[in-house]
Amino acid sequence: MNDDFLNRIRKAPPPEFLRELKDRLDRQTAAPVRARRPSFIRGLIVGLLLSGAAFALTSLSINGAPHSLRAFVRAPVELLARVVTGGRDSVKTEIESLDSRKPVPFGPAWLPTHAAQQSQPPASPGGAGSDRQPIAVPASAEAGAQGARLVAVPSRNPTFTIDASPGAYLPALAAADRWSHGSGSIQVSLDTQGTAIGRLCGDGLPGGISPDMVELSRRITADEFHTCTRNGSNPLVEVKIGYQAVLLARGRLYGTLRLSARDIFLALAKRIPDPGHPETLIENPYRTWIQIDDALPYDHIQVIGPAPDSTPGKLATQLLLEAGCNSYPWIAALRGHNEARYHEICDTVRSDGAYEGDGATAAGDAEYAFTEKLVGTPTALGILTLPMFRDYQDTLVLNPIDDIEPTDVTLADHSYPAGRTLYLYIQKRHARSIVMVPIVANGFLDKWWLSPNGFADWGLVQLDETERAAMRADLQTLKELQF
């Protein structure tokens, strides 16, 4: 940014002025710091601390030490949750299948009187950590009906955990950072195997770890949902939290290219299906658009976007390439049984110069330089986010994909190929018993996560007010997911 004309107006203050001011400051005596009077709030805080300490000491003296520090720290939270829910829901569903007449103790889970302790299960071979409190849940719907066969599973993780699919990982990290205040008390796990929903529903027990929340860049499938139901999972609550989308744009002078999602995949993927033998992959041979489709111009393929190894770059290539990649049925089918192979084919961008990784991912000079490059390069297509494009639509023109532009409507109905929806899934039971679950879930609907926080918000599009209100209402009532 050429801003020399602004910088050169600056000048040094007159030395005599600086000297005189410094002399005056040196002569000035600093105002003494007044001792603060005890305030009501301070008194209240001290009182709460003292009563908390008294509670903890009393518990320790009666019940002995908890089996871990984490369990000890979690105890007040659990107690609070039980107070809020009246001790009804947190363990009711599990306990009912065991013995509905047994009262639910009104205390932290690690207290010896906790219902879960009443059936001491064998230690799980899976090695659930010693700090995980076993509870009794039906291993399956059938077992639940019999009401007898119980397995030991971790009740909840020692810290609040979010399992996130790769596409949803950044927003989850932002949420964790936001709500744990850097303490690490919220742990985000990257789910590369696509098994997060299974874990949320309690699959893979015993010994598995059930996350408190799962964030996906796709909707739960009917199969996953029915598997959850069959396994006797507690009802799930689904929260749609927003979209991820990127768009292609060119300099306004040069107009648009009529591109399909498949054209973009064939232009940018490192390896593509051989036109003669579509089930064989070859190194991408295309240099011009007309080689891909006769209807396209004889222009060099030149796409400028974020560095492919950066997080925005990975997101951009995923969003742009996967739609076209999925137009090959055999590749799309890989997703079900060979996820790694699928991503290798669909998300690997070519490195021979057709894709230039010097696009901008943040507002400022780099963004301006990037858009200027698009304006000055007739053949270049740029990868932008919606907010970025809105800032420069006087000089850039949006290039539709499959004749579809990204709008609230086309994102919501999934018709825009380079966009996808982010969903949050929680167990209804967790939402009632773990204080942080509704707080964090509601946080995802706030505007904060669209504020700059590194790259966390790159490509994110928030729900409109109406949809957000609807999602908040669903969260408030813990509306159960139905298929």
Tell me the C-alpha to C-alpha distance, in Å, between residue 89 and each of 86, 321, 414, 429. 8, 45, 36, 7
Smaller CB separation from other proteins, 181 or 277: 181
- Supply the minimum distance, in Å, between the C-beta of residue 15 and other proteins: 11
Between 78 and 457, whose beta carbon lies closer to other proteins? 457
45 scored as a contact of other proteins (CB under 8 A): no
Q: Is 41 in the site for other proteins (CB under 8 A)?
A: no
Give the range of 6-14, 41-49, 60-68, 406-414 binding other proteins by CB under 8 A. 6-14
Smallest distance, Å, CB 31 to other proteins? 5
Q: Which residues make beta-bridge pairs with 164?
A: 190, 215
Pick from 43, 86, 112, 452: which binds other proteins (CB under 8 A)?
452
* Shortest Å distance, C-beta 416 to other proteins: 24
Answer for the pair 312, 361: CB distance below 8 angstroms, yes or no.
yes
According to the binding rule CB under 8 A, does residue 446 interact with other proteins?
no
The smaller minimum CB distance to other proteins, of residues 323 and 380, is found at 380
Q: Does 32 bind other proteins (CB under 8 A)?
A: yes
Of the listed pieces 79-87, 89-97, 296-304, 356-364, which binds other proteins according to CB under 8 A?
356-364
- Tokens standing for 201? 């529903």
| By CB under 8 A, residue 37 contacts other proteins | no
C-beta of residue 341 within 8 angstroms of C-beta of residue 334: yes
**Nearest Cα to Cα of residue 263 among 246, 244, 280, 286:** 286
Spatial strand order of the sheet with 213-216 comes to 186-190, 160-164, 213-216, 419-427, 236-245, 460-462
Alpha carbon distance 297, 275 (integer Å): 20
CB of 411 to other proteins, least distance (A): 22
Mask for 361-400, x = binds other proteins (CB under 8 A) = -xxxx-xx---x------------------x---------
> Alpha-carbon Rg of the chain, whole angstroms?
28
| The three-state (H, E, C) secondary structure of 203-271, written as one string | CCCCCCCCCCEEEECCCCCHHHHHHHHHCCCCCEEEEEEEEEECEEEEEHHHCCCCECHHHHHHHHECE
Task: Supply 145's token pair.
Answer: 């009906």
Footprint of other proteins (CB under 8 A): 1-3, 5-14, 17-18, 21-22, 24-25, 28, 30-33, 362-365, 367-368, 372, 391, 451-452
